[in-house]
A and B are shown apart, each in its own frame.
Chain A
Amino acid sequence: MKISEDTLKNISLLSKLEIEKTMKEKISKELESILLMVDQMNEVNTDKVKPMSHPLNEAQNLREDVIAEDIERDEYLKNAPQSDEGYYLSPKVIDQK
């Protein structure tokens, strides 16, 4: 599997990551070698196999729908890079026109 410049651009965009110009070739090559190793999977016929998402194939635990949260809003907001009166702050997302 070849990782073209366009593919790298697309997956960086989806990942919200920017790859430095000087690193592009190295990263592409490394991703290619990882995918080449991953492609060994194609040697296996898996036609009749059901995909597995949980190691013990158990249903997830659900709890009763009762209020159990003790949210300490101010404590949690202390970790926010920017906050104001209980809100997280981000750069402006609506254009002014």
Chain B
Amino acid sequence: MNDIVSLSLEDQIRLLEKKKISSYELTSSYLKNIEEKKDLNCFISINENALEQAEIIDDLKDRKSLIQGIPIAHKDIFCVKGQKTTCGSKMLKNFTSPYSSTVVEKLEKSQTIMLGKTNMDEFAMGSSNETSFFGKVKNPINSLKSPGGSSGGSAAAVKANMCAFATGTDTGGSIRQPASFCGITGIKPTYGRVSRWGMIAFASSLDQAGIFAKSALDSAIALEIISGFDEKDSTSINKEVPNLKNETISKMEHLIGVPKKIIENIEDENVKKNFLENINLLEKNGFKTKDIDLPFLEYSLPSYYVIAPAECSANLSRYDGIKFGYRCENPKDLEDLYVRTRSEGFGEEVKKRILIGTYCLSAGYFDAYYIKAQKIRAMITESFKNAFKNVSVIAMPTCSNEAFDLDSIQDPVKMYEQDIYTIPANLAGLPAISIPSGYKKEMPLGLQFIGNHLEEGKILNISHEFQKLTDYHV
């Protein structure tokens, strides 16, 4: 029954409920697949107790949750009590988390089986998975290509049938871009929808946890479980979480906003053609669209590359070699300990972002950079607010290109441009999803839907409708 790993989450749930398969079978099939495909380098660590946990769950009399017994994977940014949590960095290579993140706790309470922790760009800073201390992840579709980043391990693991679904985090596109590169579904909910407690911080006003799965429907099931208010996270939203599965499959009226100027300016003809064909497909099937204007969106990238590094430089100041994490050998005094610990423990990309952030926050530059970026952030948010007065969702490509060759992008600004279509939703705190929308040569392309605050249901619903019309996700 090795094929059970390629089934959708929905089908696996059905078979588990009918006792046609056991969690043990499912877990061992996934572990076998992980072992067979370990060259892809998707996992940083494997949960040695997974099979034992599956057996315990199989012995339970009742099913306490919809996803009981489902094997999953966590991005190695989420703390799991008693397990290694590295964040893809030498700095945390030997860090064992003394507590679990809320996301992990919620999935544990739902009786899922954690198979392991997935590889990622160091401290979630990267768009290629090449900055990981534990080596790059390879794209399962073509191992010479990048799986995207920063949550590349999770995206590749879902694509390669190494778990039923996986968690990820998205600060500027780190769920949606790898989802697009690997041809799967990835959703970043509204900022504050999912607790950030126990999720290692990169840029706190932008970081948000989300889900990778095979389809919008599978994503909805998993996202609902990890969502909800958490008093341990001071920016968590205290609003009820709707039944996302029901919202995904219900009949909804949509008016899809298409940002005309952005689409006209897409450089890659294949990406542009693919996007327009898909909009056309939706129109042909009765979905209404409307041209919209999203002024100032072209300033998302510059604004993001002040705000994210600034917050990163503040957040990463905690790695001092004293309380936890890496410490250099034989420090001659405290200053030497700080400087050598950080210089030896962080990789090049992380250092670069700390330097940029420190520069933008330093005396004399704070107003010109940080305050200016926050003002532009406000203007971009306002643009979306105005657009959502007229439309229910906004459609855009996820990326300006398909997965690129590993090690092919050396210029940092070129790498940052990977996220031009994903960053706006982070700046405005909006929910956004990427779904497979076709191919350029053999590599997948992604279609992105952005929703208004707290309207994850609408973007899941339109994505589900799209997936009923297409088979790119199968």
Real complex partners, A and B?
A: yes
Q: With the chains together, A41 CA to B117 CA distance in Å? A: 38
Which residues from chain A contact B339 at a C-beta distance below 8 Å? 16-18
Which residues from chain A contact B322 at a C-beta distance below 8 Å? 80-81, 88, 90
Across the interface, do B362 and A52 meet the contact criterion of CB distance under 8 Å?
no
Q: Which of A51, A61, A75, A80 contacts B371 (CB 8 A)?
A: A51
The residues in B between 349 and 386 inclusive whose CB is less than 8 angstroms from any CB of A are 351-352, 354-356, 358-360, 362, 369, 371-379, 381
Across the interface, do B375 and A90 meet the contact criterion of CB distance under 8 Å?
no
Across the interface, do B334 and A91 meet the contact criterion of CB distance under 8 Å?
yes
Q: Is B205 an interface residue (CB 8 A)?
A: yes
Nearest CB in chain B to that of A18: its residue: B343
Which residues from chain B contact A8 at a C-beta distance below 8 Å? 355
Across the interface, do A78 and B98 meet the contact criterion of CB distance under 8 Å?
yes
Across the interface, do A34 and B429 meet the contact criterion of CB distance under 8 Å?
no
Q: With the chains together, A50 CA to B379 CA distance in Å? A: 9
Q: Is B254 an interface residue (CB 8 A)?
A: no
In the complex, per-residue mask of A49-66: 1 if CB is within 8 Å of any chain B CB, else 0: 111111110101111000
Which residues from chain A contact B337 at a C-beta distance below 8 Å? 90-91
The residues in B between 317 and 352 inclusive whose CB is less than 8 angstroms from any CB of A are 317, 320-327, 331-340, 342-343, 346, 348, 351-352
Q: With the chains together, A61 CA to B233 CA distance in Å? A: 8
In the complex, per-residue mask of A1-42: 1 if CB is within 8 Å of any chain B CB, else 0: 000000110111011111100010001001101110111111
Nearest CB in chain B to that of A89: its residue: B322
Q: Is A84 an interface residue (CB 8 A)?
A: no
Across the interface, do B306 and A38 meet the contact criterion of CB distance under 8 Å?
yes
Known: A80-B323, A91-B331. A58 touches B296 (CB 8 A): no
Q: Which of B57-65, B213-221, B234-242 forms part of the interface with chain A?
A: B234-242
Across the interface, do B352 and A37 meet the contact criterion of CB distance under 8 Å?
no
In the complex, per-residue mask of B409-427: 1 if CB is within 8 Å of any chain A CB, else 0: 0011100100000000001
Known: A11-B358, A17-B354, A37-B301. A46 touches B205 (CB 8 A): no
Across the interface, do B313 and A88 meet the contact criterion of CB distance under 8 Å?
no
Q: Which of B231, B302, B352, B374 contacts A31 (CB 8 A)?
A: B352
Q: Is B77 an interface residue (CB 8 A)?
A: no
Q: Which of B237, B336, B371, B375 contacts A56 (CB 8 A)?
A: B237
In the complex, per-residue mask of A66-95: 1 if CB is within 8 Å of any chain B CB, else 0: 000000100110111110000010111100
In the complex, per-residue mask of B89-106: 1 if CB is within 8 Å of any chain A CB, else 0: 000000110100000000
Which residues from chain B contact A40 at a C-beta distance below 8 Å? 299, 302
Q: Is B133 an interface residue (CB 8 A)?
A: no
Interface residues on chain A, number (Cβ under 8 Å): 53
Across the interface, do B352 and A30 meet the contact criterion of CB distance under 8 Å?
yes
Which residues from chain B contact A61 at a C-beta distance below 8 Å? 231, 233-236, 238
Which residues from chain A contact B377 at a C-beta distance below 8 Å? 51-52
Across the interface, do A82 and B327 meet the contact criterion of CB distance under 8 Å?
yes
Known: A11-B359, A16-B342, A56-B192. A38 touches B333 (CB 8 A): no
Across the interface, do A55 and B381 meet the contact criterion of CB distance under 8 Å?
yes
Across the interface, do B375 and A51 meet the contact criterion of CB distance under 8 Å?
yes
Which residues from chain A contact B192 at a C-beta distance below 8 Å? 55-56, 58
Across the interface, do A79 and B381 meet the contact criterion of CB distance under 8 Å?
no
Which residues from chain B contact A51 at a C-beta distance below 8 Å? 371, 374-375, 377-378
Which residues from chain B contact A49 at a C-beta distance below 8 Å? 375-376, 378-379
Which residues from chain B contact A63 at a C-beta distance below 8 Å? 231
| Interchain nearest-CB distance for B305 vs A (Å) | 5
Q: With the chains together, A15 CA to B350 CA distance in Å? A: 12
Nearest CB in chain B to that of A28: its residue: B355
Q: With the chains together, A11 CA to B474 CA distance in Å? A: 49
Across the interface, do B305 and A38 meet the contact criterion of CB distance under 8 Å?
yes
Which residues from chain A contact B411 at a C-beta distance below 8 Å? 33
Across the interface, do A17 and B299 meet the contact criterion of CB distance under 8 Å?
no
Across the interface, do B351 and A17 meet the contact criterion of CB distance under 8 Å?
yes
Which residues from chain B contact A81 at a C-beta distance below 8 Å? 321-322, 324-327
Q: Which of A15, A33, A37 contacts B355 (CB 8 A)?
A: A15
Q: With the chains together, A12 CA to B360 CA distance in Å? A: 13
The residues in B between 217 and 252 inclusive whose CB is less than 8 angstroms from any CB of A are 231, 233-238
Q: With the chains together, A62 CA to B360 CA distance in Å? A: 30
Which residues from chain B contact A11 at a C-beta distance below 8 Å? 355, 358-359, 362
Q: Is B125 an interface residue (CB 8 A)?
A: no
Q: Is B185 an interface residue (CB 8 A)?
A: no
Q: Which of A44, A58, A76 contacts B299 (CB 8 A)?
A: A44
| Interchain nearest-CB distance for B138 vs A (Å) | 26
Nearest CB in chain B to that of A88: its residue: B322
28 contacts between A and B (CB under 8 A): A11-B355, A15-B354, A16-B320, A16-B342, A17-B351, A18-B339, A18-B343, A31-B355, A33-B412, A34-B356, A35-B359, A40-B299, A41-B302, A41-B303, A41-B306, A43-B299, A46-B375, A52-B374, A52-B375, A55-B427, A56-B192, A78-B98, A79-B96, A81-B321, A81-B325, A91-B336, A91-B337, A92-B333
The list of the 4 closest CB pairs from A to B, nearest first, reads A55-B429, A51-B374, A81-B327, A79-B324
With A11-B359, A46-B375, A50-B375 known, 13 other A-B pairs at CB within 8 A are A11-B355, A14-B362, A17-B343, A19-B351, A27-B351, A34-B356, A37-B416, A51-B371, A52-B378, A60-B234, A60-B235, A62-B234, A80-B324
